Amino acid sequence: MRRVAVVGAGMTKFGKHMDRGLKSLGKEAVDSAMKAAGVEMPDIEAAIVGNATAGLITGQEMIRAQVILRDMGFGDIPMINTENACASSSTAFHLAWMYVASGMYDCVLALGVEKLYHEEKKRSFQAIGSAVDIEAIKELMARTAERGRSETEAKKADDAGGGGKAGGAGESRSMFMDFYAASAREHMKRHGTTAIQFAKVAVKSHANAALNPNAQYRETYTVEEILASPMVAEPLTRLMCSPIGDGAAALILVSEEKARQLTTKPVWVTASILGSGKDREKGEPGVTTRMANKAYAMAGVGPEDIDVIELHDASAPAELIEYEELGLCKVGDGGKLIEEGATEITGKIPVNPSGGLLSKGHPIGATGCAQLVEVYWQLQGECGDRQVKGGNAKVGLTQNGGGMMKGEAAAMAIHVLER
């Protein structure tokens, strides 16, 4: 396999873009990435486009890559469409990496783009809710409502509208918040983690996003304000949950020879791992840990070597739990890590300096590439006020999960980038 480098990246501001479509958002990200890389359209030999919900939101069920790229002038080249729920564009990046690493092509575009806002908000939540086994959804929601609760607690929460059985899951909120809430309750019961610690994750996220001009939400909040925001699914308040949004992000991947022609500052893709959830034996690690261990082995690094991480914080508890799953601390010590400030921009292992999904935003099909764009920029020292390690970060990691089946992500992508 050949060495593969990222030589350019671009993205739109994430947010509510009701007056823009997939083509407009995609073009902005692609044009920016090509300009940064110093390449032109004839240099691009293949393009992989990740999108999750266009079929349900816009009606564009097929040939999304071709529709998005044709109006920019792209033609003839292979255009591949990837859908893997929230991991759609990290999957696109993985395939782009394989194209270059295999020797098939020397210059490939990876693009993630999503239009998730709709005038009828229920439609957006129903689209997100399709990222599960639809045949098993009733049983899934019933089990989720009980996780981490006694019978008395479950009834009390359901009566209050935050129990998962009722309360609007899939109608007025994403059902995934019920999944994250269940994981949070279990973590609290098993390890003594507190709602205050989850709130501190959200405080960090919003503070980081305030420094990111591309972030959807740039307001800052206190722990008290996070906890006082409306309850979504106990213990998650609204400010602990990622929003819906629109946006696009793109990267240019090239061979080592091509990279040497284009830049003196290539960022190498030293690990690209894509895997799936499975039926596990009791005590067997989850999909994040399994794929992360493969990525660490492929890149020849360990958790202690990572300088910056963008991980899948679709909820505040998810980030804290993923500290443990990625090996940043022992199982049960995620709360301690946030208390110590270790994952702050100024901490020993900065996590989600972009603001993450919580505050930067979560346009599902664009998220994976957006994480990679942020890590690429961090390793290039181009992040201004949110720059980590004084611009000396050398190794970055992204973790991006997609969908949910039987209690863990259906798809999981882990990437390691190094300069």
Instruction: Enumerate the active-site residues.
Output: 86, 362
- How are beta strands 46-50 and 107-115 bridged, if at all? parallel
Residues 369 and 50: beta-carbon distance below 8 Å: yes
Residue whose C-alpha is closest to residue 392's, from 280, 308, 329, 269 = 308
With residue 196 as reference, give the H or E element that holds it.
Answer: helix 195-209
Cα-Cα-Cα-Cα dihedral sign, residues 249, 414, 383, 335: positive
Q: How far apart are CA 419 and CA 408, in angstroms?
A: 32
Helix, strand and coil content of the chain, in percent to the nearest 5, comes to 45, 20, 35
Q: How far apart are CA 18 and CA 70, in angstroms?
A: 22
Helix residue spans in 58-175 (DSSP H) = 64-70, 88-101, 121-128, 137-146, 151-159
Q: How far apart are CA 209 and CA 156, in angstroms?
A: 35
Q: How far apart are CA 204 and CA 222, in angstroms?
A: 9
Q: How far apart are CA 49 and CA 66, in angstroms?
A: 9
Mark residue 164 as left, alpha or beta (left: phi above 0; alpha: psi -120 to 50; beta: remaining): left
Neighbours of 58 (CB within 10 A): 15
Q: How far apart are CA 350 and CA 127, in angstroms?
A: 32
Query: Which tokens go with 78?
Result: 């292979």
With residue 259 as reference, give the H or E element that holds it.
Answer: helix 256-262
Phi, psi at residue 400, to the nearest 5°?
-140, 115
What are the distances in angstroms from CA 301 to CA 95, 277, 333, 419? 22, 23, 22, 13
State the residue for tokens 């181009």.
382
